Amino acid sequence: MIYDLLRDEIKGFKNYEVSNIECKYKMDANEVPFSLPESTLENLQEIVKSANVNRYPDPVSIKLRDKLAEKCSASKDNILVGNGSDEIIHIIMNAFVSPDDFVVYPVPSFSMYRVYSEIAGANKVEISLGEDYHYDVVEFIKSIKEYDPKLVILCNPNNPTGTTIGRDDIIKILEVNRGITVVDEAYYEFFGETVIDLINKYKNMIVLRTLSKAYGLAGLRVGYAVSNPEMIGCLNLVKSPYNVNSISQAIALSVLEADTVKDRVEYIKNERKFLMDGLSKIDGLKVYNSQANFLLLKFDDADYVYNKLLEKGILVRDFSGDNELSGTLRVTIGTREANSYFIKCIKEILS
């Protein structure tokens, strides 16, 4: 069997599955409910034409890196662009993690930290988040001292809990970790705190960002890493040559130039408060405080609620079968219409 030829690390893997159920309200994948900015839509034909798709894309995304650098007060030598930040996590693993190296990350958190660690054949050190899914920095530091890991990953705000780790605690970790520290800021725009300003002080730190969330470009697959030039050079050694296609590069540039993100983030943050306030008044569920564009909710019977929501045309992410998240569902903040309807449905289901 071909399966028998698989590397031992890969045997037993399951496909990354996403729900493909068609629903009126898609609130499962931490996307934003907006389409491209007007100025990008108006110029779409020009943008696609200028992408010259008969040629290979710019392998190092120079124009896009320039623009991203401007946005985060850095230089283009501080930036690497990836086919989504997913790809950059994989690049980091490929560059730095050998079989049997230790990788430290929180659980519950973004599932790909575990998957890429397993593909690398690393030893996983999974640090449970504490009460109400808050980071326990003492546990992180204890593990770093014990295992001297090659890689520590922090997700801030954390997906799927929405909880955060404070700057002082990140610095405590940076002070003790001799390996690489990744701070995944995929949801940064909804939170507002960053450690990008520390990239030259802590040369072994990489900050990860994405255009999939606040910028609404999940379908284009554009993520980026911010770090010091030596680190970026090391990551470039293992990056595939033409990893980001030219249409994605061109549209991403246009969207960054349109500068609509601030208003959109304000809208989502306002809706997060609306949803949080509405849900907190309902008996029979627990709502976790979130700094991202989603809320984690806990129910006595999450499966029942998930299926009832589906019947009513709402798709959320079901984590109820997950060991560290049992009883929980994650809902992505949507439009006012979607959020009002969600609150109404939850009231009906739990009454």
List the structure tokens of 79.
């930036």
Q: Which residue is nearest to ligand PMP (CB)?
A: 84
Residue 69 interacts with ligand PMP (CB under 6 A): yes or no: no
Task: Tell me the number of residues near ligand PMP by CB under 6 A.
Answer: 13
Min CB(177)–ligand PMP separation in Å: 19
Angstrom distance (rounded) from CA 345 to CA 347: 5
What's the full length of the chain, in residues? 351
Of 269 and 308, CB closest to ligand PMP: 269
Min CB(46)–ligand PMP separation in Å: 26
Among 143, 163, 204, 210, binds ligand PMP (CB under 6 A): 210
Site residues for ligand PMP, 19-48, by CB under 6 A, read 30
Q: Which amino acid, one-letter code, is at 266?
A: E
Site residues for ligand PMP, 155-184, by CB under 6 A, read 155, 159, 184
Of 315 and 349, CB closest to ligand PMP: 315
Count of CB atoms situated within 10 Å of the CB of 348: 10
Residue 115 interacts with ligand PMP (CB under 6 A): yes or no: no
Of 3 and 16, CB closest to ligand PMP: 16
Q: Rounded to a whole number, what is the distance in angstroms from the first to the last CA of the chain? A: 53
Residue 223 interacts with ligand PMP (CB under 6 A): yes or no: yes
CA nearest to 125, candidates 92, 161, 100, 160: 100
Sheet with 123-128: list strands edge to edge: 79-82, 223-226, 205-210, 180-184, 151-155, 102-107, 123-128
Site residues for ligand PMP, 286-345, by CB under 6 A, read none
Beta partners for residue 79, in sequence order: 226
* Cα separation values, 148 from 176, 180, 208, 340, Å: 9, 11, 22, 48
Min CB(209)–ligand PMP separation in Å: 8
Q: Which stretch binds ligand PMP (CB under 6 A): 36-44, 78-86, 128-136, 330-338?
A: 78-86
Residue 212 interacts with ligand PMP (CB under 6 A): yes or no: yes
Of 210 and 328, CB closest to ligand PMP: 210
Residue 216 interacts with ligand PMP (CB under 6 A): yes or no: no
Min CB(210)–ligand PMP separation in Å: 3
Min CB(2)–ligand PMP separation in Å: 28
Of 95 and 176, CB closest to ligand PMP: 95
H or E stretch including 279? helix 261-280
* Cα separation values, 118 from 11, 47, 94, 282, Å: 10, 39, 12, 40
Count of CB atoms situated within 10 Å of the CB of 22: 8
Min CB(153)–ligand PMP separation in Å: 9
* Cα separation values, 209 from 22, 72, 193, Å: 29, 10, 13
Of 37 and 157, CB closest to ligand PMP: 157
Q: 209, 18 in Cβ contact below 8 A?
A: no
The residues binding ligand PMP (CB under 6 A) are: 30, 84-86, 110, 155, 159, 184, 186, 210, 212, 218, 223
